Chain A
Amino acid sequence: MDKTKLRQQALFIRTSLFDQGFLDEQFIQLEELQDDVNPNFVEEIVTLFYSDSVRLIYNIERGLMSNPPNFTKLDDFMHQFKGSCSSIGAKKVKTECSRFSEYCAAENFEGCFMTFQQINVEYTTLKKKLQTYFQVSITFNVIFW
């Protein structure tokens, strides 16, 4: 019963992540890469992404703080960040990244700034959800082989 419930929860979280547009097909690719050699591959990748993307976000932040703002640079940084987001299939974050790039192209600082806030929201939301998901999955895997 416990086992089933856990499993159900894990599946539920996963499904909702896709249904609600948080994740895209890339995440499935990661899951397919997971095997005996790398049994926690997906989680490792997500962890790696979240820890590495901090610096990318930081770069963007710094870029936004510079005066006058350098939109080319900002766009470059965002490009990097977006590329990284694509690695885990962070769909919503990527969408916001694209919006940010559009504002950069239009040299609309306000737009950039607002979008960046939104990016952070999506980024964090996804992080929490994934953490929960892994929590449950690993619980299930560890406890109930």
Chain B
Amino acid sequence: MDNGCFSSPRRDFPAGLRVLVVDDDPTWLKILEKMLKKCNYEVTTCCLARHALNLLRERKDGYDIVISDVNMPDMDGFKLLEHVGLEMDLPVIMMSVDGETSRVMKGVQHGACDYLLKPIRMKELRNIWQHVFRKRIHEAKEFESFESFESIHLMRNGSELSDEGNLFAVEDVTSTKKRKDADNKHDDKECMDPSSAKKARVVWSVDLHQKFVKAVNQIGFDKVGPKKILDLMNVPWLTRENVASHLQKYRLYLIRIQKENDRRSSSSGMKHSDFPSKDLGSFGFQNPVNKQQNDVSTDSYNYSDGSLHLPTVENKNYEGDKGSVSQFTIAKKGRPLTGNVTDSNMRESSRVGLNQPFAQSEGNHAVFDCSLPTQYSWTEVPNMQLKEEHKSLVHLEDSFNQMPLHGKQHHIQVDQSQSVASISSAPSITEEEVPACIEAKPLFSDFKNDRSSSVNSIGNAVDTFPIQPGSLAMNAQSLEPISTTNSGLKAHGYNNLSCISDVEIYQRNLLLGGEAASAPLDEDLHFQWLQGECYNMNFGLQNIGMSEYYDPGLIAEAPSHLYDSADYSVIDQGLFIA
């Protein structure tokens, strides 16, 4: 390892590695954050994929590596993976509780540099820096080899085809070839400083990409080559290497689209037939004037030119992207270009030919380019037809907009300023699904109370504890008074446990409709105390389970394990000492 030459930007690498973690599960988010911090990494957490992309775009060079869950309600992890790979060219690690080979394979196909299974061990996270390091080395060599490739190309008889052929090859082969060439060609110049490795990473904004595609179209897709494109594009700071790698990705993307198209045209009864490819559509490149598309995209991104693409993946209640994304399976090696492509747009795209721009993510760039504020689009507002007018709707799943959970999709608009909230508070609410982010304001008022209480209760667990001795002391054997004491504590919706049956709970849930599946907040607490079981520890939890599944068997079990009356008094005294 030419460590001496290739130095990392930070002296104490891998410490301080900047990691972005994306997971809709707040519990895992917190665990991972803690684990990564213990590895001395700099952690940013995000529960929304969209938000994560925005973060990545805002701070182009702000992160070294991304760790993302595969199953997220607002966007498929694989799609995010593609975006990140395409736009930011960062290493992405996927995580999932599902370790099926097919899934892992899909991850690798989409360009994941690793695939971790939940539950994740800390030792697995300790080594993630290797992916960053590897990438830097690779980029350094790529940079070198591209230059040497170009020089070879010049020497040839203008046969850019061979050059293309090389580029067109599967990335691995290409990389190997490059590496070999690189090794042969520059023994002297193996020292790459990290800045040049970083230069290789160009962010392809929508403007840039448009120029690129225009150039490609002008040249003619079959005859295209990096040099020609570069000349046409007339972007002074862009290197041939940049163009070449972008071209490669573009080709892979197009192939994938083509395959997807073929696959789709042969299948029927797809749910998302009304969804155009978000990627293709997003730029509206179907008409060369780059109008915004008329179709709804599958992804919940907002696309080009201020036109809003709202995902209506399904006319159903549940989360949008996932359904459609799951249809999308084909991926090339290396950096697949974009995510979702759906039926109609596929056909459209194939009609128009290969001159489609890719990377819906660049649509997002367009959003920024158009000086639109950061936007989230509502994942699953169905039937939101994209109009040509520049309606920049900002859709943020704001949990405060109480959404009826009766399976009706509706349009939710939220104050934009609210939408660009802090990382942790960006909620993602699917219509039927309850929001993912714990920090987000909860969906329902009850839920909210419980949530906030739960958060509070964590902090106050110890605080409230001393109160308990009093209650315990008073109520060594009785049950009732405890409940009144507890009502002074941060108690939550505890129902009259003894009289609620399973059926009632379910019925109540039905009646409550939009409320979380919890017993309504009921200050009148009637606890069924297991003998001697100290149950004042509020976890701020909804107590559905408690009420439903109160099982005398459990009670009988507990005391024998935990306390007998003697023990109870021990605790009693112990508490008093406090």
Interface residues of A (CB under 8 A from B): 1-3, 5-6, 9, 12-13, 16, 25-26, 29-30, 32-33, 35, 38, 40-41, 43-59, 61-62, 65-66, 70, 72-73, 76-77, 79-80, 82-84, 86-89, 117, 120-121, 123-125, 127-128, 131-132, 134-136, 138-139, 142-144
Contacts and interface: CB of A to CB of B under 8 A. Distances in A.
Nearest to A89: B119
Contact of B574 (A25, A30, A139): A139
B63 interface: no
Contact of A61 (B96, B509, B562): B509
B118 A6 contact: no
A51 B451 CA distance: 7
Contacts of B318: 59, 70, 73, 76-77
The winner among B38, B122, B318, B544 for most chain A CB atoms within 10 A is: B318
Contacts of B562: 9, 12-13, 132, 136
Given A13-B562, A132-B537, A132-B558, 12 more contacts: A3-B574, A6-B574, A40-B458, A51-B541, A52-B25, A54-B544, A66-B407, A79-B98, A84-B28, A128-B558, A132-B562, A136-B571
A85 to B, nearest CB: 9
A143 B31 contact: no
Nearest to B407: A66
Nearest to B322: A76
A95 B162 CA distance: 55
Given A2-B577, A61-B509, A83-B96, A125 B454 contact: no
Given A54-B518, A84-B27, A134-B537, A44 B458 contact: yes
Interface in B275-290: none
B541 A83 contact: no
B443 A33 contact: no
A82 B28 CA distance: 12
A77 B322 CA distance: 11
Contacts of B511: none
Interface of B: 24-28, 30-31, 34-35, 38, 69, 71, 96-98, 118-119, 121-122, 316, 318-319, 322-323, 405, 407, 432-435, 438, 443, 447, 450-451, 454, 457-458, 461-462, 465-466, 502, 506, 509-510, 516-518, 530, 533-537, 539-542, 544-546, 548-549, 551, 554, 558, 561-563, 567, 570-571, 573-575, 577-578
Contacts of A30: 31
A145 B540 CA distance: 25
A29 to B, nearest CB: 7
A47 B121 CA distance: 21
Contacts of B118: 83, 86-87
B257 to A, nearest CB: 25
Contacts of B435: 55
B554 to A, nearest CB: 7
B567 A5 contact: yes
Nearest to A33: B34
Contacts of B407: 66
Contacts of B530: 128
B540 A51 contact: yes
A98 B210 CA distance: 47
B433 A61 contact: no
Nearest to B429: A55
Nearest to A55: B434
Contacts of A40: 458, 461-462
16 contacts: A43-B461, A48-B27, A48-B30, A52-B27, A54-B517, A76-B319, A77-B433, A86-B119, A87-B118, A120-B545, A131-B539, A132-B533, A132-B535, A135-B536, A138-B461, A143-B577
Given A61-B506, A120-B548, A29 B122 contact: yes
A70 B433 CA distance: 14
Nearest to B549: A124
The winner among B316, B443, B533 for most chain A CB atoms within 10 A is: B533
B63 to A, nearest CB: 23
Given A45-B30, A55-B435, A16 B541 contact: no
A28 to B, nearest CB: 10
The winner among A16, A41, A62, A84 for most chain B CB atoms within 10 A is: A62
A105 to B, nearest CB: 12
A134 B432 CA distance: 33
Contacts of A84: 25, 27-28
A125 B27 contact: no
